[in-house]
Amino acid sequence: MTAAHIGWSVLAALILFALMGPLFDPVGPFKQSLMKALSGADAAAPFGYDHLGRSMFSRLAHALRLSLLLAFAATATAAVIGIGLGALASWRGGWLDRGLALVADSVLALPALLMVLMMGVILPSTALAFWAGLAAVQWVEFFRLTRNAARSHLASPAVEAATLQGFGPVWIFRRILWPEIGPMLRTASAFGVGNAIAAIAALGFVSVGMRAPTPELGLMMVELLPSWREAPFALMQPVLACFALLLALNLIAGDRR
Amino acid sequence: MNTALNTIAFRLMQAAGVALVVGVMSFLMMQAMPGDMAFRIAAARYGYDLVNADLANAVRAELGLDAGPVTQFLHWMGGLARLDLGQSLVSGQPVWDEITHQLGASLQLALAAIVLSLLIGPPLGICAGLHAGGRFDRALLVVAASFRAVPQFLLGLLLIILLAVQMRLLPAAGHGSLAHFVLPALTLALGLAAASARITRDAMAGVAASPLYAFARAKGLSDGEVLRRHGLRNIGAPVVTYLGLQFVLLVEGVVVVETIFGWPGIGHALIHAVFHRDVPMVQGTALVMGLGFVLLNAIIDLIVRRIDPRGVQS
């Protein structure tokens, strides 16, 4: 239990920083002052400046905001779609069930990064591409969870009794399926959010993710990499933030099996 | 035998599904691109200098680009079904030629990473699982958990800074000599090893606590013999199954790691194709990656059936 508690508190601290940071920040993430490039902390920028003299504090807070927002949005969308389709598939059965399972298995063979990259060519904005691409991959996990839980329970005497008493599918979902799916949801969502954050940073790092002035963790790392000898602390900030975020989510997720 | 056929049938369906998903996505990519498609295809075929409105119109008539989106989609999928991936919009070469050219480099890298991860992960997992709860077991849990929290690009970055830039032991990027293999393969292998160590440890701990293991010891076999004759085969099935699921991670890692280390493989090609909006190349690389995953898992299924012939386990 303690590992999960540590995870929750680290995540809460990072979310708090992402939400509150910009409120105490007079400079903003885009204001350059080349005189201060790579210099250390001062009152206006408590974490120092990057290679273009922008406040690291501000950029880090905005980068975390972006990553967390995109990742939570994508995972929440995936959860709603996945659980909905999973319940529908196991309730209706037949060709619908088989068809959806086949689509899920096909998507499973495609890496998330690939889906995001392909969405990036289709959709006009990068943020939209991340949201759609990540959701398009992640719904499979929720779909499978729901379908497996529903399969064993829809045939149970409890459901049969409820149906005979005239309860509809919504009641059965809420009262019988949801208590089964709910606890597994935490693990699946934490893994989903973690994978999403890693994917956003990875694509930013290889310069096919978010575009340049946007503060984003992977992009900040690749921008600061050339000047890491002069300012190792500046490079370490996005690296540590990314690591802490992913570690926290992994701890929250616990063990998959 | 029947179940083996079922497995192959399932994987064939999955492969068809992968091709369908990739085809639909690629068609949407093609539709989303700005400009006149007939002009672009004509430019790819005949060269940018020779293209004029007549050639574009000829292409339009030939491919039926004036037809509705449904006809166009059927045409696109028809090409895919005939395994005609078209030509790269950038180089003008057939996509197949480009991919077969790059696939070799990727396979070398992936193979090196898998071998390296198998040398690191499962042995550590077996050691930890044999003494579950011990000091080594707990240390491995922490190390594996922190390695899993480091995405592959970050691991690559740390290794470059540490081994290539600071200690100047290895080249940071490039392809050709054996030294160029070490960093990208190690980056991929460490992530895979962390996961496989964990799975091996759980499987080993389960087997070591089982009655069959206690019986083998009670009849007087030595520790090494028990492990070899009763342990390894029993942990084989879950570990190999898990390895199959890991391939998607490997493919994803290959895309990122190749780009970081400048490895001229298929992942590198994919990133470049996306950068240049070269849809036929994106479709080709995506298809090869997805189908590669399905093929490897089909092989894994058959191997697991050999290791554990006790019928279907889901």
Classify domain A3-18+54-253 by CATH architecture. Answer: Orthogonal Bundle (1.10)
Contacts of B13 in chain A (CB under 8 A): 102, 105
- Examine residue B242 and state whether it is found in any structural domain, yes or no: yes
Domain count, chain B: 1
Please answer whether residues B119 and B172 qualify as being in contact, where contact means their C-beta atoms are separated by less than 8 angstroms. no
- Examine residue B59 and state whether it is found in any structural domain, yes or no: no
- Examine residue B115 and state whether it is found in any structural domain, yes or no: yes
* Closest CA–CA distance from residue A105 to any residue of chain B (Å): 6
Rounded to whole angstroms, the Cα distance separating A240 from B132 reads 31
Instruction: Provide, rounded to the nearest whole percent, the portion of chain A with pLDDT above 90.
Output: 6
Q: Which of residues A79 and A152 earns the better pLDDT score? A: A79
Mark residue A19 as left, alpha or beta (left: phi above 0; alpha: psi -120 to 50; beta: remaining): alpha
Q: What residue in B sits closest to A202 (Cα-Cα)?
A: B153
Q: Would you state the pLDDT for residue A256? A: 47
Rounded to whole angstroms, the Cα distance separating A135 from A122 reads 15
Q: Would you say the ipTM is above 0.90?
A: no
- The CATH number of the domain holding residue B139 is 1.10.3720.10
Q: Do B29 and A121 touch (CB under 8 A)?
A: yes
A255 pLDDT tier (thresholds 50, 70, 90): low
Q: Do B154 and A239 touch (CB under 8 A)?
A: yes
Helices and strands per DSSP (H, E), number in chain A: 10, 0
Q: Would you state the pLDDT for residue A77? A: 93
Residue A116 pLDDT > 80: yes
B249-304 pLDDT, tens digit per residue, is 788 888 888 888 888 888 888 888 887 777 888 888 888 888 888 888 888 888 88
Q: Would you state the pLDDT for residue A106? A: 85
- Examine residue B291 and state whether it is found in any structural domain, yes or no: no
* Closest CA–CA distance from residue B28 to any residue of chain A (Å): 6
Closest CA to B169 of B183, B158, B157, B156: B183
Contacts of B251 in chain A (CB under 8 A): 111, 114
Rounded to whole angstroms, the Cα distance separating B239 from B122 reads 8
B66 pLDDT tier (thresholds 50, 70, 90): low
Residue B313 pLDDT > 50: no
Rounded to whole angstroms, the Cα distance separating B242 from B122 reads 12
Q: What residue in B sits closest to A113 (Cα-Cα)?
A: B252
For residue B32, the one-letter residue type is: A
Q: How far is CA B108 from CA A18, B170, B294, in A?
A: 42, 19, 19
B162-216 pLDDT, tens digit per residue, is 877 777 777 766 676 777 777 888 888 888 888 888 888 888 888 888 888 888 8
Rounded to whole angstroms, the Cα distance separating B165 from B158 reads 10
CB-nearest partner of A105 from B14, B154, B252: B14
Residue B1 pLDDT > 60: no
Name B140's Cβ contacts closer than 8 Å, sequence gap at least 6: B124, B125, B127, B128, B197, B201
Using a CB–CB cutoff of 8 Å, tell me whether A106 touches chain B. yes
Q: Which of residues A58 and A257 earns the better pLDDT score? A: A58
The predicted model gives B13-39 an average pLDDT of 79
Residue B87 gets which letter from DSSP? B
Domain span including residue B137? 95-275
Rounded to whole angstroms, the Cα distance separating B72 from B75 reads 5
Q: Would you state the pLDDT for residue B65? A: 65
Contacts of A108 in chain B (CB under 8 A): 248
- Examine residue B58 and state whether it is found in any structural domain, yes or no: no
Token pair in block for residue B273:
């194709």
B314 pLDDT tier (thresholds 50, 70, 90): very low
- For chain A, the domains span 3-18+54-253
Residue B84 pLDDT > 60: yes
- Examine residue B107 and state whether it is found in any structural domain, yes or no: yes
Q: Do B145 and A202 touch (CB under 8 A)?
A: no
* Closest CA–CA distance from residue A171 to any residue of chain B (Å): 30
- Examine residue B260 and state whether it is found in any structural domain, yes or no: yes
- Examine residue B102 and state whether it is found in any structural domain, yes or no: yes
Closest CA to B179 of B293, B124, B102, B261: B261
